[in-house]
Chains A and B, each alone.
Chain A
Amino acid sequence: MSTSTPHRALFLCLALCQCTGSISGERPGAGSEGDGSSTPGVSTGAFSPEPGALRKLTVAQYRNSIHDVLGPEIVVPEDLEADTSVNGYTAIAAAQGTISATAAEKFEAAAYDIAAQAMIEPLRSRLVACVPSATTDDTCARQALGSIGSRAFRRPLTETELGRFAGVAQTAAGVLGDFYQGMEFGLAAILQSVPFLYRVEVGEPDPKDSKRYRYTASELGSRLSYLIWNSTPDAELLTKVTDGSLLDTANLATQAKRLLASPRAKEGVATFHAERFGLANLAYLTKDANLFPQATDSLIVAMQQEVQELVADLVANQRDYRELLTGRSTFVNAELATLYGVTATGAGFSKVTFPADSPRSGLLTTAAFLAPNAGVQHTSPTRRGKFIRETILCQSIPLPPPGVVTVIPPDPTKKTMREKLSSHAVESSCAGCHAAMDPIGLAFEHFDAIGAYRETDDGALLDVSGSLDGTAFADARSLTELIAASPAASSCAVRSLYRYALGHVETPNEEAAITELSEAFSGAGHRFDALIAALAESPALRYAAPPEE
């Protein structure tokens, strides 16, 4: 009756056995052309855009937008449906997924909660500048709702829309006998409307070229603003939307630079990196509490913040983005300092520089990488290697064949992970893919399952040398130097930003845009702000394919 005995013969594959020899396609060591990071089936042709989409506001975007449209004093209800993620990105889920019935209910409740707050003084007078002449004052209602609505919809309301919202407000004012209570219903209608809850980015025929589809001025304003600020366009950007001047590439670039120069750009940069590196998943990190009592909730929060501080410091000071992988400084609080064996100064987070002989450098020696890409008790060089291949280098590793049991049988004679994983190299069906993952993952064996340094594993000394696609490295630090210097790592950053900004995984027809952006990125000394500015001017941001029938 029981089937609990695993098939030991299958044990030896720690999955990923479809590779033969080296990883297929533009893979490490597979050739010198290109940057080695493209997906198979690359088009070498001109850029051809994909259709746009309705992009549901994320919870953070909803909250930010409410604050920007109505006022920072609004307390946005916590009880909104949580974001989901597709292909690793909330930004992609938001462009593909739907709003569930429960979410619609929560948006309704939130809309009334927020609308009621908006009609409390002194905010009310800011939002309703006119003084109503009677319980139902159509002119005043239209004036206020038109102003709020155009901020909320990121474009001027149509006459139909304005009439509709004013009508709702008027009816409610009549029934309830109060102008402002009526306004609450008008406001609640705006806040539940599709053009508020979604960024409508679907495009229109280009009047200058009937064969082409372009994003409208208001859509461009949204794309720019949510990309850089993770929020709704401000008044100046909306002016450029309303007069249509944002359609001019030079104006678009100017606005992008203005948004980037604002302190608010920090949030956009942070949101992208949180998504790219899966920082939100850290909240659910599971470690063996007996082995790692220090893996507390507050340590996990600190792990996330360390990466955000690193990124913010790099971008704000316009340094070479590749330092993210090689920098010898980081940001720690007391808890993280203990984990890393360094000394924090002052309360909260402070910048520390690692001693010259420290094994740590950059993102790949942070706990935010080391801990989640490990098991609950042991490290997982395979997972660490896989993360580097996929998230840092944008190379996809084939999936394990069905029926493979991914458990390494206990063998007391094997102490280190290098010994335990050696079966991968022996088992021919496993060797191909694992050769891409295990050797680079083993470079980090001096860091245990939560990212603390260790000299030995189970009493055995560690060999952390290896080679990355034919180039030897001595340890994790020299590996991170190799990775950072590779064009694949730079163009992977571009590719990731592209997915995030556009809300979909690129198709081969879009490769030309990514190539162009990668060139712009390296041409600008790998400055992240320069990359975003280049993206703002890219045809990828400005042109769409017509909606699919």
Chain B
Amino acid sequence: VRNKTFHRLPPLSRRTILRGTLGTLGVAVGLPALESMLNTHGTAYAQEGAFPKRFGFFFWGDGVRLEHWNPATTGAGYQLSSALMPLANVKEYVSVVSGTEIRTQGQGHHNGQCAMATGAPYIQQDPNGAPYASTYAGPSIDQIVATSWAAQDPRPYRSLELGISERVNRNEGTTLNFFSHSGPDSPNPPEFDPRSVFDRLFTDGFVPGGSVPQAPDPRWALRKSVLDAVRQGAADLNPRLGKNDRLRLEQHLDGIRSIENKLTALENGQGPIALGCAAPTQPGDLPDPDDGEPLIERTDAMSDLLAMALTCDLTRVFTIAFSNGVSGTQFPEIGINTGRHGLSHDEGDDQPGMAASTVFIMERLATFLEKIKGATEGVGNVLDSAAILASTDVAEGLPHSLDDYPVLVIGKAGGGLVHPGIHFRSDGQNTTDIHFSVLSALGLPFTSFGAEDGESSTIIPALMA
């Protein structure tokens, strides 16, 4: 068993980048022991395993107002707080975990974002004029899951990365710019344009459920021969490359493999396709308001597309970055014309704008969750087989606090997660215990998550079914 995960690397050397940190190294892999842990709770897992499991992360920047966030009561049947009230229609699928703390050390936003995404300390970089700069030290949890599942049962798209607010911070390294990463300086940038997502998912060889199998398009095989030529060319070059470049190229070839998998799936007719799978309506242009962004419209459109992508089993892993840490997202819809990060620093008193914008963000999360709850699957819906984390880069924006961390654990994970949802109040345990619990609930054979102070191999029993 490889127990130690990736190591924190010294700053500033480009040599550090990527070395041994790409791919699945972010988590220790091995030990089927987890299976038995699962099975102490999890006979339901085996029975409900007919539908594929999904993993997602909904992330937003700059925290919450904790006094409006944490529910007043714990356990099942907890009372939704004012911040969480928008989630009323999906509450049975939502567990609130409060009271954990991020244990990695570093600059508030950077540390919190990396800890939530990777469970590890970030790599600090030369800011070159920016206030600060960093990149992730390893893959984010969505890519850890995607890599694991792609090896077992590749889907046409190994993961989807969607973004809602484009007003993210672009000059403090990749950390605050992107949620999903495959490794240091290797972000997976999100799509902001629903039309682009539609074109990718629902035009290239898309087969709706219940349709008559068609003869494979001869172009699919030809495209594979092209990719084969690309791969051979890369192999020719490989002996000239240093270790770093070989790793980078390997990452690129993973992407090529992903396209090949998609083409193979097309040729094989993709297997059984859910009857509910049908191409959604092609999204139109989003509005372009003068005083903000089409946050509501973009979330609506992306949620429709993602719900259908999950129904059609085009992918099983997704991230929705509503925003990231140190965001400039404004909310003119509710009278907030200051970027959310600026607001967290500048707003006095009880920070009503921070509270209101948290509610706005939860409304967007609710939109998405309600849409995938509407995606029926067997006698249930896609939320029954999904595990979705929702969290942010600091607990409270103003003090940049990393304790009493706001985290939601959503979905049943195919019977792995507690249902109906609970409010679990922790007494200061590591936030990454939540990540590890979710990976475990999904039946993934990892023995730990994160690194250094963020490393966890502890399950939170209350969260498990």
A399 to B105, CA, bound (A): 14
Given A6-B398, A93-B185, A289-B337; A284-B174 close (CB under 8 Å): no
The total number of A-B Cβ pairs within 8 Å is 266
Indicate which residue in B15, B98, B191 contacts A548 across the interface (CB closer than 8 Å): B15
With A54-B241, A281-B171, A410-B348 given, is the CB distance from A87 to B133 under 8 Å?
Answer: yes
Contacts of A194 in B (CB 8 A): 230, 233-234, 237, 249, 252
Would B106 and A383 count as touching, CB distance under 8 A?
no
Q: Which A-chain residue is minimally distant from B150 (CB atoms)?
A: A101
> Is B210 located at the chain interface by the 8 A CB criterion?
no
User: B128 contacts A105, CB within 8 Å?
Assistant: no
The interface residues of chain A lying within 8 Å CB-to-CB of B258 are 101, 104-105
Residues 241-266 of chain B, each 1 if its beta carbon lies under 8 Å from chain A, else 0: 11111001101101110110000000
Chain A residue at smallest Cβ distance from B130: A88
**A103: CB under 8 A from chain B?**
yes
Known A-B contacts A54-B249, A100-B255, A407-B398; A88 and B124 likewise in contact (beta carbons under 8 Å):
no
Q: Do B124 and A399 touch (CB < 8 A)?
A: yes
Band of interface residues on A: 35 or more
Does the CB pair B124–A284 fall under 8 Å? no
Residues of A within 8 A of B227 (CB): 108, 192
A539: Cβ under 8 A from any B Cβ: no
- Asked whether A3 lies within 8 Å of B185 as measured between CB atoms, the reply is no
Q: Which chain A residues lie closer than 8 Å to B242 at the CB level?
A: 51, 53, 202, 547-549
Contacting residues of chain A (86-118) with chain B, CB-CB under 8 angstroms:
86-89, 92-93, 95-105, 108-109, 112
Residue from B158, B222, B233, B328 in contact with A172 in the complex, judged by beta carbons closer than 8 Å: B222
In the complex, which residues of chain B have a beta carbon less than 8 angstroms from the beta carbon of A405?
Answer: 398-400
Q: Is the CB of A286 within 8 A of B226?
A: no
Neighbour of B129 across the interface among A79, A92, A387, CB < 8 A: A387
Q: A387 to chain B: which residues have CB within 8 Å? A: 129
A327 contacts the other chain (CB 8 A): no
Of the stretches A159-167, A223-231, A331-339, the one at the interface is A159-167
Residue of B nearest to A95 (CB): B14
> Are A101 and B254 interface neighbours, CB within 8 A?
yes
Residues of A within 8 A of B384 (CB): none
Kindly state whether residue A280 has any CB partner on chain B within 8 Å: yes
Interface centre among B166, B199, B255 (most CB of A within 10 A): B255
The 8 Å CB contact of A4, one of B66, B230, B234, B255, is B66
With a cutoff of 8 Å between Cβ atoms, the chain B residues found around residue A103 in the complex are: 189, 255
Please tell me if the beta carbons of B338 and A377 are within 8 angstroms of each other in the complex: yes
A88/B399 in contact, CB under 8 A: no
Q: Check A86/B135 contact, CB under 8 A, given A102-B188, A108-B223, A390-B129.
A: yes
Task: Report chain A residues within 8 Å CB of B328.
Answer: 284-286, 376
B232 located at the interface, meaning its Cβ lies under 8 Å from any Cβ of chain A in the complex:
yes
Q: Cβ of B399 and Cβ of A7 under 8 Å apart?
A: yes
- What is the chain B residue whose CB lies nearest that of A397? B127
CA distance A102 to B248 in the complex (A): 15
A422 at the binding interface (Cβ < 8 Å):
no
Nearest to A100 among chain B residues (CB) is: B188
> If A51-B242, A98-B183, A194-B237 touch, does A104 touch B226 (CB 8 Å cutoff)?
no
- Give chain B nearest CB distance to A371 CB in angstroms: 13
Q: How large is the interface on B (under 10, 10 to 19, 20 to 34, 35 or more residues)?
A: 35 or more
Q: Is B35 an interface residue (CB 8 A)?
A: no
- Cα distance, A87 to B334, chains bound together (Å): 36
Nearest opposing residue in chain A for B72, CB measure: A1
Contacts known (A3-B403, A387-B129); A171 close to B396, Cβ less than 8 A? no
CA of A85 to CA of B98, assembled, Å: 35
Closest to B128 in A: A88
B5-19 contacts to A (CB < 8 Å): 12-15, 17-18
* Interface: B200 (CB within 8 A): yes
A275 closest partner in B (C-beta)? B128
| Assembled-state Cα–Cα distance A7/B233 (Å) | 58
Smallest CB gap from B400: residue in A: A405
A278 touches B (CB below 8 Å): yes
Encoded as 1 (CB less than 8 Å from any B CB) or 0, chain A from 133 to 168 comes to 000000000000000000000000010110011011
Which chain B residues border A407 with CB–CB below 8 Å? 345, 398
Min C-beta distance of B4 to chain A, whole Å: 23
Q: Are B12 and A505 in contact (CB under 8 A)?
A: yes
Whose C-beta in chain B lies nearest to the C-beta of A194? Answer: B234
Contact of B232 among A4, A5, A92, A164 (CB under 8 A): A164
Chain B residues with CB under 8 Å of A79's CB are 193, 196, 199
Partner of A386, one of B126, B131, B178: B131
- The residue that B67 contacts in the complex, of A1, A189, A399, with Cβ under 8 A, is A1
> Is A400 a contact partner of B396 (Cβ separation < 8 A)?
no
Q: In the complex, what residues of A have CB within 8 A of residue B381's CB?
A: none
A288 CA to B345 CA, complexed, in Å: 14
Q: Whole-angstrom distance between the alpha carbons of A218 and B455 in the complex?
A: 47
CB distance from B216 to the nearest CB of A (A): 12
Nearest Cβ in chain A — how far from B146, in angstroms?
Answer: 9
A392: nearest residue on chain B (CB-CB)? B129
How far does the alpha carbon of A7 sit from the alpha carbon of B263 in the complex, in Å? 57
Highest count of chain A CB atoms <10 Å: which of B17, B22, B131, B227: B131
Q: Which residues of chain B are within 8 angstroms of A284 by Cβ–Cβ distance?
A: 166-170, 328
Cβ of A176 < 8 Å from any Cβ of B? yes
Report if A3-B218 is in contact (Cβ < 8 Å); known contacts: A84-B187, A286-B342: no
Q: In this assembly, does A542 line the interface, its C-beta being within 8 Å of a C-beta of chain B?
A: no
In chain B, positions 216-238 with a C-beta closer than 8 Å to chain A are 218-219, 221-223, 225-227, 229-230, 232-234, 236-237
Contact yes or no, A84 B178, CB < 8 A: yes
Do A376 and B346 touch across chains, with their CB atoms under 8 A apart? yes
Q: Which residue of A lies closest to B398 (CB)?
A: A6
- Between-chain CB contacts (< 8 Å), 15 pairs: A3-B395, A3-B401, A84-B178, A87-B128, A112-B223, A160-B236, A161-B236, A286-B339, A377-B338, A386-B131, A390-B128, A391-B128, A396-B126, A407-B345, A548-B244
B contacts, CB < 8 Å to A: 12-15, 17-18, 22, 65-67, 70, 98, 105-107, 124-133, 135, 157-159, 161, 166-171, 173-174, 177-178, 182-183, 185-189, 191, 193, 196, 199-200, 204, 218-219, 221-223, 225-227, 229-230, 232-234, 236-237, 240-245, 248-249, 251-252, 254-256, 258-259, 290-291, 328, 330, 332, 337-339, 342, 345-346, 348, 350-351, 395-396, 398-401, 403-404
Other 4 A-B pairs with CB < 8 A, given A108-B223, A176-B218, A185-B225: A4-B396, A194-B249, A296-B290, A547-B241
5 smallest CB-CB distances across A and B, nearest first, come from A104-B255, A547-B242, A88-B128, A286-B328, A391-B129
